[in-house]
Amino acid sequence: MFARPWLLLLLALPVLHIYWVWQRQSGRFAMPFDSDGARRMGSGRLMRMLLGVGESLPALLVATAVLLLALPQELAAPRQKRALTNIQFVVDISGSMTAKFGKGSRYDASMQAISDFLDYRSGDSFGLTFFGNNYIHWVPLTSDPSAFRNAVPFMRPENAPPHFGGTEIGKAVLGAREVLTSREQGDRMMILITDGMSGDIRNGAEMELAKRLRRDGIKLFAVNIQEREAPGEIVNLARMTGGEVFNPGDEQGLRQVFEAIDEMTKTELEQGTAELVDWFWPFCVGGLGVLTVYVLFLFGWRYTPW
Protein backbone atom coordinates (compact mmCIF):
# COMPACT_ATOMS: atom_id res chain seq x y z
CA MET A 1 0.00 0.00 0.00
CA PHE A 2 1.01 3.61 -0.46
CA ALA A 3 0.70 6.65 1.79
CA ARG A 4 0.14 8.91 -1.25
CA PRO A 5 -1.80 6.71 -3.69
CA TRP A 6 -2.94 9.66 -5.79
CA LEU A 7 0.64 10.07 -7.07
CA LEU A 8 0.35 6.70 -8.78
CA LEU A 9 -1.68 8.43 -11.50
CA LEU A 10 1.64 9.77 -12.76
CA LEU A 11 2.60 6.23 -13.77
CA ALA A 12 0.51 6.83 -16.89
CA LEU A 13 3.35 8.97 -18.31
CA PRO A 14 6.09 6.27 -18.36
CA VAL A 15 3.53 3.69 -19.51
CA LEU A 16 2.57 5.88 -22.49
CA HIS A 17 6.23 6.45 -23.29
CA ILE A 18 6.98 2.71 -23.30
CA TYR A 19 3.93 2.08 -25.48
CA TRP A 20 5.12 4.71 -27.99
CA VAL A 21 8.65 3.22 -28.07
CA TRP A 22 7.42 -0.24 -28.97
CA GLN A 23 4.54 0.75 -31.29
CA ARG A 24 6.01 3.63 -33.30
CA GLN A 25 6.39 3.26 -37.07
CA SER A 26 9.17 5.74 -37.75
CA GLY A 27 11.44 5.64 -40.75
CA ARG A 28 14.52 3.50 -40.81
CA PHE A 29 17.97 5.00 -40.55
CA ALA A 30 21.36 3.61 -41.40
CA MET A 31 23.40 2.85 -38.24
CA PRO A 32 27.09 3.90 -38.36
CA PHE A 33 28.71 0.55 -37.59
CA ASP A 34 32.24 -0.15 -38.82
CA SER A 35 32.07 -3.90 -39.33
CA ASP A 36 29.97 -5.96 -41.69
CA GLY A 37 28.93 -8.23 -38.81
CA ALA A 38 27.60 -5.26 -36.85
CA ARG A 39 25.79 -4.01 -39.97
CA ARG A 40 24.09 -7.35 -40.40
CA MET A 41 23.14 -7.32 -36.71
CA GLY A 42 21.76 -3.80 -37.03
CA SER A 43 19.32 -4.85 -39.67
CA GLY A 44 17.94 -7.70 -37.57
CA ARG A 45 15.19 -8.11 -35.03
CA LEU A 46 17.59 -8.53 -32.10
CA MET A 47 19.07 -5.06 -32.52
CA ARG A 48 15.64 -3.47 -32.78
CA MET A 49 14.63 -5.25 -29.57
CA LEU A 50 17.77 -4.10 -27.74
CA LEU A 51 17.17 -0.51 -28.87
CA GLY A 52 13.58 -0.72 -27.63
CA VAL A 53 14.72 -1.98 -24.23
CA GLY A 54 17.29 0.80 -23.97
CA GLU A 55 14.74 3.47 -24.79
CA SER A 56 12.30 2.03 -22.25
CA LEU A 57 14.75 2.23 -19.35
CA PRO A 58 14.36 6.01 -18.69
CA ALA A 59 10.60 5.50 -18.39
CA LEU A 60 11.21 2.71 -15.87
CA LEU A 61 13.42 5.09 -13.84
CA VAL A 62 10.64 7.67 -13.86
CA ALA A 63 8.17 4.98 -12.74
CA THR A 64 10.49 4.02 -9.87
CA ALA A 65 10.72 7.66 -8.77
CA VAL A 66 6.92 7.96 -8.82
CA LEU A 67 6.58 4.82 -6.69
CA LEU A 68 9.07 6.16 -4.13
CA LEU A 69 7.31 9.53 -3.97
CA ALA A 70 4.04 7.69 -3.32
CA LEU A 71 5.63 6.35 -0.08
CA PRO A 72 5.27 2.56 -0.27
CA GLN A 73 4.47 0.95 3.09
CA GLU A 74 4.04 -2.50 4.59
CA LEU A 75 2.69 -3.89 7.85
CA ALA A 76 5.57 -4.62 10.22
CA ALA A 77 5.47 -7.59 12.57
CA PRO A 78 3.92 -6.69 15.95
CA ARG A 79 6.52 -5.69 18.52
CA GLN A 80 6.61 -6.59 22.17
CA LYS A 81 7.08 -3.78 24.62
CA ARG A 82 7.83 -3.74 28.31
CA ALA A 83 4.81 -3.27 30.57
CA LEU A 84 5.24 -0.22 32.80
CA THR A 85 5.23 -0.49 36.60
CA ASN A 86 4.76 2.61 38.75
CA ILE A 87 6.74 2.14 41.97
CA GLN A 88 6.38 4.55 44.90
CA PHE A 89 9.02 4.32 47.64
CA VAL A 90 7.81 5.42 51.08
CA VAL A 91 10.88 5.96 53.27
CA ASP A 92 10.84 6.61 57.02
CA ILE A 93 13.04 9.55 58.09
CA SER A 94 12.11 9.59 61.77
CA GLY A 95 14.91 9.98 64.31
CA SER A 96 15.35 6.23 64.78
CA MET A 97 16.48 5.88 61.14
CA THR A 98 19.84 7.36 62.21
CA ALA A 99 20.61 4.15 64.14
CA LYS A 100 23.64 2.12 63.09
CA PHE A 101 23.07 -0.37 60.25
CA GLY A 102 26.14 -1.88 58.62
CA LYS A 103 28.70 0.74 57.70
CA GLY A 104 26.25 3.61 57.98
CA SER A 105 22.77 4.36 59.27
CA ARG A 106 19.48 2.69 58.51
CA TYR A 107 18.66 5.60 56.23
CA ASP A 108 21.97 5.28 54.32
CA ALA A 109 21.52 1.54 53.81
CA SER A 110 17.93 1.99 52.64
CA MET A 111 18.76 4.63 50.08
CA GLN A 112 21.71 2.63 48.74
CA ALA A 113 19.52 -0.46 48.36
CA ILE A 114 16.92 1.64 46.52
CA SER A 115 19.62 3.00 44.20
CA ASP A 116 20.76 -0.54 43.36
CA PHE A 117 17.15 -1.61 42.80
CA LEU A 118 16.65 1.13 40.21
CA ASP A 119 19.46 -0.28 38.06
CA TYR A 120 17.65 -3.53 37.31
CA ARG A 121 14.18 -2.02 36.95
CA SER A 122 15.06 0.14 33.96
CA GLY A 123 11.97 1.35 32.13
CA ASP A 124 9.72 1.60 35.18
CA SER A 125 8.58 4.85 36.82
CA PHE A 126 9.69 5.64 40.36
CA GLY A 127 8.43 8.09 42.96
CA LEU A 128 9.82 8.91 46.40
CA THR A 129 7.93 9.90 49.53
CA PHE A 130 9.66 10.74 52.83
CA PHE A 131 7.63 10.56 56.01
CA GLY A 132 7.68 11.00 59.76
CA ASN A 133 4.67 12.53 61.49
CA ASN A 134 4.00 14.10 58.09
CA TYR A 135 5.03 13.19 54.57
CA ILE A 136 6.46 14.93 51.54
CA HIS A 137 6.51 13.68 47.95
CA TRP A 138 10.13 14.44 47.20
CA VAL A 139 10.48 12.89 43.72
CA PRO A 140 7.46 12.61 41.39
CA LEU A 141 7.00 9.44 39.36
CA THR A 142 9.81 9.48 36.82
CA SER A 143 11.89 7.06 34.79
CA ASP A 144 15.05 9.09 35.50
CA PRO A 145 16.96 7.34 38.33
CA SER A 146 19.34 10.28 38.81
CA ALA A 147 16.51 12.18 40.54
CA PHE A 148 16.63 9.60 43.35
CA ARG A 149 20.36 9.62 43.75
CA ASN A 150 20.42 13.41 43.99
CA ALA A 151 17.75 13.34 46.71
CA VAL A 152 19.77 11.34 49.24
CA PRO A 153 21.63 14.20 51.03
CA PHE A 154 18.69 16.58 51.34
CA MET A 155 16.19 14.66 53.45
CA ARG A 156 18.44 12.80 55.84
CA PRO A 157 16.82 12.24 59.27
CA GLU A 158 19.39 14.62 60.76
CA ASN A 159 18.17 17.39 58.41
CA ALA A 160 14.43 16.70 58.65
CA PRO A 161 12.13 19.38 60.17
CA PRO A 162 11.03 18.78 63.79
CA HIS A 163 7.50 17.72 62.80
CA PHE A 164 9.02 14.76 60.90
CA GLY A 165 10.48 13.21 64.04
CA GLY A 166 7.73 10.64 64.72
CA THR A 167 6.18 7.88 62.61
CA GLU A 168 2.73 7.83 61.01
CA ILE A 169 2.71 5.02 58.50
CA GLY A 170 -0.99 5.09 57.61
CA LYS A 171 -0.91 8.78 56.70
CA ALA A 172 2.15 8.30 54.48
CA VAL A 173 0.72 5.24 52.72
CA LEU A 174 -2.51 7.10 51.95
CA GLY A 175 -0.50 9.99 50.53
CA ALA A 176 1.54 7.63 48.34
CA ARG A 177 -1.70 5.96 47.23
CA GLU A 178 -2.89 9.27 45.76
CA VAL A 179 0.30 9.52 43.70
CA LEU A 180 -0.07 6.02 42.29
CA THR A 181 -3.78 6.30 41.51
CA SER A 182 -3.09 9.48 39.54
CA ARG A 183 -1.40 7.28 36.93
CA GLU A 184 -3.91 5.47 34.75
CA GLN A 185 -1.39 3.38 32.83
CA GLY A 186 0.85 0.68 34.24
CA ASP A 187 0.90 -1.54 37.30
CA ARG A 188 1.13 -0.01 40.78
CA MET A 189 3.53 -0.98 43.53
CA MET A 190 4.48 0.59 46.86
CA ILE A 191 7.63 -0.19 48.85
CA LEU A 192 7.46 0.91 52.49
CA ILE A 193 10.76 1.15 54.38
CA THR A 194 10.44 1.78 58.11
CA ASP A 195 11.92 0.77 61.46
CA GLY A 196 8.89 1.55 63.57
CA MET A 197 5.19 1.29 64.18
CA SER A 198 2.42 3.88 64.34
CA GLY A 199 -0.93 4.21 66.04
CA ASP A 200 -2.82 5.03 62.83
CA ILE A 201 -2.66 1.42 61.63
CA ARG A 202 -3.73 -0.24 64.89
CA ASN A 203 -7.07 -1.77 65.91
CA GLY A 204 -7.97 -2.99 62.43
CA ALA A 205 -7.12 0.27 60.65
CA GLU A 206 -4.44 -1.56 58.66
CA MET A 207 -7.07 -3.93 57.23
CA GLU A 208 -9.23 -1.08 55.96
CA LEU A 209 -6.17 0.59 54.47
CA ALA A 210 -5.11 -2.67 52.79
CA LYS A 211 -8.58 -3.07 51.27
CA ARG A 212 -8.34 0.41 49.73
CA LEU A 213 -4.94 -0.37 48.26
CA ARG A 214 -6.15 -3.69 46.88
CA ARG A 215 -9.19 -2.04 45.23
CA ASP A 216 -6.80 0.40 43.56
CA GLY A 217 -4.56 -2.41 42.31
CA ILE A 218 -1.64 -1.38 44.54
CA LYS A 219 0.67 -4.10 45.85
CA LEU A 220 2.59 -3.10 48.98
CA PHE A 221 5.94 -4.53 50.07
CA ALA A 222 7.25 -3.62 53.53
CA VAL A 223 10.91 -3.61 54.55
CA ASN A 224 11.24 -3.72 58.34
CA ILE A 225 14.74 -2.34 58.89
CA GLN A 226 15.25 -3.05 62.60
CA GLU A 227 16.35 -5.89 64.87
CA ARG A 228 12.84 -6.99 65.89
CA GLU A 229 10.35 -8.74 63.65
CA ALA A 230 7.85 -6.55 61.82
CA PRO A 231 4.67 -5.74 63.81
CA GLY A 232 1.62 -7.78 62.88
CA GLU A 233 -0.19 -4.70 61.58
CA ILE A 234 2.50 -4.11 58.95
CA VAL A 235 2.42 -7.81 58.03
CA ASN A 236 -1.35 -7.61 57.52
CA LEU A 237 -1.04 -4.40 55.51
CA ALA A 238 1.42 -5.95 53.08
CA ARG A 239 -0.01 -9.44 52.69
CA MET A 240 -3.59 -8.26 52.27
CA THR A 241 -2.49 -6.39 49.12
CA GLY A 242 -0.62 -9.38 47.70
CA GLY A 243 2.77 -8.12 48.88
CA GLU A 244 5.18 -9.36 51.53
CA VAL A 245 7.14 -8.20 54.58
CA PHE A 246 10.92 -8.55 54.81
CA ASN A 247 13.18 -8.37 57.87
CA PRO A 248 16.75 -7.85 56.65
CA GLY A 249 19.36 -8.17 59.38
CA ASP A 250 22.25 -6.52 57.58
CA GLU A 251 23.21 -4.70 54.38
CA GLN A 252 23.55 -7.93 52.41
CA GLY A 253 20.12 -9.02 53.57
CA LEU A 254 18.69 -5.67 52.54
CA ARG A 255 20.08 -6.04 49.02
CA GLN A 256 18.62 -9.52 48.83
CA VAL A 257 15.24 -8.10 49.85
CA PHE A 258 15.12 -5.88 46.78
CA GLU A 259 16.30 -8.73 44.58
CA ALA A 260 13.44 -10.82 45.95
CA ILE A 261 10.94 -8.02 45.27
CA ASP A 262 12.21 -7.82 41.71
CA GLU A 263 11.79 -11.59 41.27
CA MET A 264 8.25 -11.47 42.72
CA THR A 265 7.21 -8.67 40.37
CA LYS A 266 8.83 -9.64 37.09
CA THR A 267 8.01 -7.26 34.28
CA GLU A 268 5.61 -8.59 31.67
CA LEU A 269 5.81 -7.98 27.94
CA GLU A 270 2.84 -6.52 26.13
CA GLN A 271 2.11 -7.57 22.54
CA GLY A 272 1.87 -4.49 20.35
CA THR A 273 -0.17 -4.10 17.18
CA ALA A 274 1.21 -4.24 13.67
CA GLU A 275 2.24 -0.82 12.37
CA LEU A 276 2.76 0.58 8.90
CA VAL A 277 6.43 1.21 8.09
CA ASP A 278 8.19 2.53 5.00
CA TRP A 279 9.02 -0.12 2.40
CA PHE A 280 11.53 1.58 0.11
CA TRP A 281 14.23 -1.06 -0.28
CA PRO A 282 12.77 -3.21 -3.12
CA PHE A 283 12.05 -0.12 -5.23
CA CYS A 284 15.50 1.33 -4.53
CA VAL A 285 17.20 -1.94 -5.48
CA GLY A 286 15.09 -2.20 -8.64
CA GLY A 287 15.77 1.42 -9.58
CA LEU A 288 19.54 1.01 -9.11
CA GLY A 289 19.44 -2.09 -11.29
CA VAL A 290 17.60 -0.25 -14.07
CA LEU A 291 20.02 2.70 -13.82
CA THR A 292 23.05 0.40 -14.10
CA VAL A 293 21.68 -1.29 -17.22
CA TYR A 294 20.79 2.08 -18.75
CA VAL A 295 24.33 3.39 -18.24
CA LEU A 296 25.65 0.30 -20.03
CA PHE A 297 23.26 0.92 -22.92
CA LEU A 298 24.54 4.50 -23.21
CA PHE A 299 27.96 3.11 -24.09
CA GLY A 300 26.68 1.57 -27.33
CA TRP A 301 23.13 0.32 -27.65
CA ARG A 302 21.06 3.47 -28.05
CA TYR A 303 18.77 4.90 -30.71
CA THR A 304 20.58 7.44 -32.90
CA PRO A 305 18.26 9.02 -35.54
CA TRP A 306 20.60 9.94 -38.41
Supply the DSSP string of 41-82, one letter for each residue.
Answer: HHTSHHHHHHHHHHHHHHHHHHHHHHHHHT-BEEEPPPPEEE
Separation of alpha carbons 205 and 185, rounded Å: 29
Q: CB pairs under 8 A, 24+ apart, for 6-9?
A: 7/66, 7/69, 7/70, 8/66, 8/67, 8/70
Homologous superfamily, domain 81-270: von Willebrand factor, type A domain (3.40.50.410)
Separation of alpha carbons 249 and 226, rounded Å: 7
Least Cα distance to 278 among 81, 79, 69 occurs for 69
What pLDDT score was predicted for residue 165? 78
CB of 47 closer than 8 Å to CB of 41: yes
Q: Which residue has the higher pLDDT, 302 or 246?
A: 246
Q: Give tens-digit pLDDT for 68-113.
A: 888 888 876 665 555 678 999 999 999 889 999 888 899 999 988 8
Q: Could you give the maximum distance between any two Cα atoms of the chain, in Å?
A: 114
What pLDDT score was predicted for residue 42? 47
- Mean confidence (pLDDT) of the chain: 82
Pairing mode of beta strands 85-92, 80-82: unpaired
What pLDDT score was predicted for residue 31? 54
- pLDDT confidence tier of residue 306, bands split at 50, 70 and 90: very low
Helix axes 169-181, 232-239, angle to 10 degrees: 10
What pLDDT score was predicted for residue 118? 84
Q: Give tens-digit pLDDT for 19-57.
A: 888 887 655 555 555 555 544 544 567 777 777 787 888
The model's pTM is: 0.62
Give the CA angle between residues 227, 223, 257 to the nearest 5°.
Answer: 100
Q: Give tens-digit pLDDT for 221-279.
A: 999 998 888 899 999 999 999 999 998 878 888 888 888 887 776 655 455 565 677 88
Helix axes 232-239, 205-215, angle to 10 degrees: 20
- pLDDT confidence tier of residue 213, bands split at 50, 70 and 90: very high
